[in-house]
Amino acid sequence: MSIQKDLSYGPVTISVPAGSQSKRLDQFLQAKFPSYSRSKLQAFIKQGAVTVNEKIVKPSYAIVCEDIIVLELPSEHHRKIEPEAIPLEILHEDAHLIVVNKPAGMVVHPARGNWSGTLSNALLHHCGTLSNANGDPGRPGVVHRLDQYTSGVIVSAKSDEAYYKLGQQFEHRTTQKEYLAITDGEPESNEGEIDLPLGPDSQNRLLHAVRLIGGRRAITHYEVQERLGGYAFIHVRPKTGRTHQIRVHLRSIGCPCLADFAYSERSEIRASDLGLEGDSILIKRQALHAFRLSIDHPASGDRMTFEATLPEDMKTTLEVLRRRASSERDGH
């Protein structure tokens, strides 16, 4: 994929790399620019703001290897990302990639309402440069994402080689992502697989829901680590990578992530919510942590596994739930 040198101003140019799966132009662009809806990108294409091999085409055009796509993005996508000296917990770094433990609350890359303080701002300050091979100046080095309030392991590409090869691994599902969650409710089975299609929520376009008709297949494997008297500590392995997949799937079995403001009834958990004295807040974001990621190194091919320790808010909440469950078992 060849990209023009300065993406901060002027049109974005993308050369479709060899090995890319055939897909519609509008689908291809939405994967590159997720802050835009597919309908808006279709409108750009119909208006002639997108050309392929210097020709105006339809949104349904099937891209092929070495197609040259030129897209004149709206001005907000040309906004230059400024490096910011934000502390990072670095798990691994080399010439090709950097792996960090993203804290809850940090947005991965700038978007509407979050133009600074993002992981991309921090990485640009630390690394100097990141891969621009994705064709989006607003998402340097981004090969996958975590929700703003989900903590844990995330990898970014420093070199274009790393971007291509890591991107293929995520696309072909050869990576292994593992999460830890505290749920509001206990699954009936100690282990299981949720195989339910997902799509945009018809009532709220910012959320997702199980969509038996028109949804995209999504599979999540879970295993209960501890039962905690109406709550549970769960190990989760998503086999697909749909938006909000784990959060929606856990809700679908009656066990949403604890304190998930979007998919549960409570946006924070206080000590008093668990029948304890005091009103201190234990956790005020979804109790979901990406604790382990396994990838093949893009240069050496070696399998590498990275782990991020459980954050303090989830540790504290677990300790309180364990004491509460123990007390209930002892009849106190």
What the block records as the tokens of 229 is: 């008297």
Strand 288-296 to 151-157 pairing = parallel
Residue 147 catalytic? yes
Q: What is the DSSP string of 178-189?
A: EEEEEEES--SS
Residue 46 and residue 36: Cα distance in Å, rounded? 15
What the block records as the tokens of 27 is: 């689908």
CA gyration radius for the chain? 21
Residue 60 and residue 50: Cα distance in Å, rounded? 13
Long-range contacts of 200-204 (CB under 8 A, 24+ apart): none
Residue 217 phi, psi (nearest 5): -60, 135
Of the residues 147, 160, 184, 260, which is catalytic?
Answer: 147
What the block records as the tokens of 271 is: 């000590």
Exposure of 213 by Cβ count < 10 A (0-12 exposed, 13-18 middle, 19+ buried)? exposed
The identity of residue 172, as a single letter, is H
CA distances for 194 relative to 222, 249, 291, 301, angstroms: 8, 7, 20, 31
User: What are the DSSP E strand ranges found in 124-239?
Assistant: 151-157, 176-184, 191-195, 198-200, 208-210, 219-227, 231-238
Report, as residue numbers or ranges, the catalytic residues: 147
